Amino acid sequence: MMSQRLEVAIIGAGPYGLSIAAHLSQRGVDYRLFGTPMHTWRNHMPEGMWLRSEGFASNLADPGGELTLERYCEDHGFDVGGWGVPIPLEVYSGYGEWFVEQAKLPVEDTQVVGLAKDSGGFVLDLATGETLLASQVVVAVGLTHFRHLPVEFASLPPELLSHSSSVRGGISGTTGSQLHPAEFAGRRVMVIGAGQSALENAALLHEHGATVEIVARASSIVWHPPPHPLDRPLWTRLRRPVGGLCTGMGCWLYEHGPRAFHLLPEQQRIRLATTTFGPAGAWWLHERIEGKVPVRLDHHVRTARSSGDEVELEFESPSGRTTLRSEHVICATGYRVDINRLRFIDATLARSIETVADYPKLDGHFQSTVPGLYFVGAASGPAFGPVARFVLGARFTARVLERRLLRKAGRGAR
């Protein structure tokens, strides 16, 4: 079943895909948007989770800036999202659905299973069996495509091992089954990692009765401080401005200077994009971990193997080698962007996309080395900076793509 050619296809209906679609909708661009709205937030984050970002830094982007999280909370009577007040996951997921309704976005809840190049643009194959043609394609997929499991854990069966992105209402293995944290009550669970995901999963499991231990190669747990008061003296606010990423001039520059970031030397951009904002925990998690969940630091995993119904892990630490056992292991080991892991991209097309450190090489308009093919979100980090890893970067991205796609469609731009 072949469709007529359209101007733009957007793959992914998370914060970036929805924000871009909201901008194109008001400009009359012929586009289609594919994916489950807020899929990562609804299906790959633990029940009971709170957002680490402040409310004002978590807005999806519509052209008028009217469809904010603050407005959603006010309309629905939620007393969250204010300065220093964490946002529950269920509230944020509801906000995403409300944004789709208010912006009247025609989201098609289906997957793109094939993307290839043709002489005049791109061919997309949908899970519904439909094939369509598009002049421009925006890849706005979420991080779950890029989850990282250390090779040492590769031999473990899914019933003993999960990545933290496989969490929804609890721990779920790669088989797709979903479990609630309460089902781990009385069981021993080991969480690998020292970042927000590791710490929050550990806290939630502990609070549901599991015996939890955190093991990390880091030498310390980094905790973000509570938000600075907004009524600080003027000179303090100028020297350390409050930003959506954190407080400080560096954070402010990352937030407001993605174009300037793009002008930096390539290797410097890669280093900054991949090392800035390393593993750390939100301030409000500290009391839920400290003194309640044991933490082993400076532990580097050497081997992991199944032993009956348990996992036996060998670690190297400053005190020597240590062998530990657990009934389940959660790897909160982050994500590594590699466009070769996007299986829906045709192999020939994938080979045409020039990469740098496995990220797509992008110009100042998010366009890859294949004309008409754009990558946004975390995949654009080395091009536009750490802000691309956060919802906060969606507004800049949507505005740039709006202008670019309008010009390509022969409409001009605002």
Which pLDDT does position 13 carry in this prediction? 96
Sequence spans of domains, the chain: 2-145+335-408, 148-222+278-331
What's the CA gap between 385 and 279, in Å, rounded? 17
Domain boundaries 2-145+335-408, CATH class: alpha beta
- Confidence at residue 177, expressed as pLDDT on a 0 to 100 scale: 44
- Tell me the pLDDT of the chain averaged across its residues: 91
pLDDT (0 to 100) of residue 286: 95
Predicted local confidence at residue 174, as pLDDT: 36
pLDDT along the chain (414 residues), means of 10: 84 97 93 94 83 91 96 92 86 95 97 94 96 96 91 92 72 43 83 95 93 96 87 84 87 94 96 92 94 96 94 95 95 93 96 96 97 97 96 97 89 56
CATH of 148-222+278-331, one of 3.40.50.800, 3.50.50.60, 3.30.70.20, 3.40.109.10: 3.50.50.60
Rounded distance, CA 299 to CA 173, Å?
24
Residues in the chain: 414
Q: Which tokens is 139 given?
A: 């890849």
pLDDT value at position 175? 33
Query: pLDDT at position 168, please?
Result: 58
First to last CA, the chain: 36
The pLDDT score that the predictor gives to residue 180 is 66
Cα 218 from Cα 334, distance rounded (Å): 14
Cα(276)–Cα(269) distance, rounded to whole angstroms? Answer: 10
What is the reported pLDDT for 363? Answer: 97
Q: Tell me if 2-145+335-408 shares its fold with 148-222+278-331.
A: yes
**pLDDT for residue 79:** 87
pTM listed for this prediction: 0.92
Q: What is the pLDDT of residue 167?
A: 59
β-bridge pairing 2-11 and 131-139: parallel
Q: For residue 28, what is the DSSP state?
A: T
